Amino acid sequence: MNKPVLSPSDQISATIARLRDLSQLSIQPGWRYYDGDLPLVDTLNPGNWQHWALGTVNDRDHHPWVKGRMVRWFSQIVKVPQDLNGFPLEGLCLRLALLWWAEEAQVYVNGKLVQEGDLFDCAPRLLLSSDVQAGDEFAIALRFVSPNHDDGALMKSACHYEAPSPNHPPEPAFVADELAVLHSYLETFQPDQLDTLATALSQ
């Protein structure tokens, strides 16, 4: 059966997605959760997390919970792999990118409070390591309070492996972001050039 022929724009989008997959990894599927508060000594102890419920995302890839200023904790141990889809990660810096819908938010890494936020301060990119090695582990705990008027949600969580300095070759996701800007420009102002870009990217 013949594969469908992609339009130049779809070819470019597919290339951008493949590049992002080389240095960015969603960790949305891996969260466990606990509803309500416990003493910090318990909630920040990774040995207790195995007893928490394993979260499931909805059709929007969100982890929701009920409105009414209800507390939900999320926990996950992030382990650095050797590579992402063949792209080596050693020596890169690692940032945790989060997006939430919560009236109150606290982010703990390895037992230490590193970030607080709310409904408006809701999209941090937290430096976990400036020089990762395969096997490095980070114990992440998130405490959220849902808005009184609306369900809460952990909407995004991802590991971004990035160049540690301007002198380092850019990581694939950086190249993807630049291509995305060019793609958007061409779609808007020079659609006749999309085929040229798609052909160049296929070389």
Nearest CA among 76, 78, 80 for reference residue 135: 80
- Rg over alpha carbons for the chain, rounded to the nearest Å, is 20
Q: Which residue has the tokens 């995302």?
A: 57
pLDDT in tens, the chain (203 residues): 566 778 999 999 999 999 999 999 999 999 999 999 999 999 999 999 999 999 999 999 999 999 999 999 999 999 999 999 999 999 999 999 999 999 999 999 999 999 999 999 999 999 999 999 999 999 999 999 999 999 999 999 999 999 999 899 999 999 999 999 999 999 999 999 999 999 999 87
Q: pTM here?
A: 0.92
Token pair recorded at residue 118: 């709310």
Rounded distance between C-alpha atoms, residue 24 and residue 28, angstroms? 12
According to DSSP H, which parts of the chain are helical? Answer: 8-20, 40-43, 46-49, 172-189, 194-201
Backbone angles phi, psi at 9, to 5 degrees: -65, -40
